[in-house]
Amino acid sequence: EVQLQESGPGLVKPSQSLSLTCSVTGYSITSDYWGWIRQFPGNKMEWMGYMSYSGSTAYNPSLKSRISFTRDTSKNQFFLHLNSVTTEDTATYSCARRPIGSSGFDSWGQGVMVTVSS
Amino acid sequence: DTVLTQSPALTVSPGERVSISCRASEGVNSYIHWYQQKPGQQPKLLIYKTSNLASGVPARFSGSGSGTDFTLTIDPVEADDTATYFCQQSWNDPTFGGGTKLELK
């Protein structure tokens, strides 16, 4: 059974960078697609981007200038980097799997709450 | 962005049939998916590509629609179905609806 687990700082100062890790067990990140989704207070959800099984990426255009994804296949982990954060980036960040051929996110991590505040 | 519009809330009685709607601002070619989110939990995929039941999801849940109008139906509704239901499209850059909070009488 695939399991995903996010980790990273719960508090980031404005203008700094946010980096989160998604650790995957039970399934290889060299298969399927892997995404980051965030949920703001009030429940609005935003897709941040995907990393494919080959390592190619697609980002939400609204974040494109600030976001990047990387991965470490030896550890079966992928990473979110978000630059120049503001208070509007305060949200719960989740990683999720999107199987090829499905288009829906069928497995999610538990999410990590990140607050941007000085 | 493709905007997905959902009604904010619905209240139904256990045993009834409920339909939750999702309207897209442009055609999404059946690439609509539905999630259930209970308080304090992560979203759970219920339906993918309009009408395909995700693994382990009871057959009480079904999906339909085309073009810009899509529906998630629960029949019959059970007490455990109290949750917020989100639609998501992936025909264009993925977007989510605002969610419909389902409450039971």
For B79, the 3-state DSSP assignment is: helix
What pLDDT is attached to residue A67? 98
Q: How far does A106 lie from chain B, in Å, by closest CA?
A: 5
- pLDDT (tens place) for every residue of chain A, 118 residues total: 999 999 999 999 999 999 999 999 999 999 999 999 999 999 999 999 999 999 999 999 999 899 999 999 999 999 999 999 999 999 999 999 999 987 899 999 999 999 999 9
Tokens 């009408």, residue?
A: B51
Q: Is the per-residue pLDDT at B13 higher than 80? A: yes
Binary contact (B96, A47; C-beta < 8 A): yes
Per-residue pLDDT tens for B16-64? 999 999 999 999 999 999 999 999 999 999 999 999 999 999 999 999 9
Binary contact (A102, B55; C-beta < 8 A): no
What pLDDT is attached to residue A102? 77
**Average pLDDT for chain B:** 97
Question: pLDDT-derived band of residue B69, with 50, 70 and 90 as boundaries?
Answer: very high
Residues of A in CB contact (< 8 Å) with B are 35, 43-47, 58, 60-61, 94, 102-106, 108-111
Binary contact (A106, B55; C-beta < 8 A): yes
Binary contact (A43, B49; C-beta < 8 A): no
Share of chain B above pLDDT 70, in %: 100
Q: Which residues in chain A are contacts of B47 at CB distance < 8 A?
A: 104
Of B31, B93, B99, the CB nearest to A103: B31
Q: Which residues in chain B are contacts of A44 at CB distance < 8 A?
A: 96, 98
Tokens 């960040």, residue?
A: A93
What pLDDT is attached to residue A64? 87
Of A46, A103, A108, the CB nearest to B43: A108
Which segments of A62-111 are extended strands (E)? 67-72, 77-82, 91-98, 107-108
Size of interface A-B (CB pairs under 8 A): 53
Q: What is the Cα–Cα distance from A20 to A114, expressed in whole angstroms? A: 10
* Cβ pair B36, B85 in contact under 8 A: yes
Q: How far does A42 lie from chain B, in Å, by closest CA?
A: 9
Burial class (CB in 10 A: 0-12, 13-18, 19+), B27: middle
What pLDDT is attached to residue A103? 82
B27 in contact with chain A, both atoms CB, cutoff 8 A: no
Per-residue pLDDT tens for A90-112? 999 999 999 998 789 999 999 99
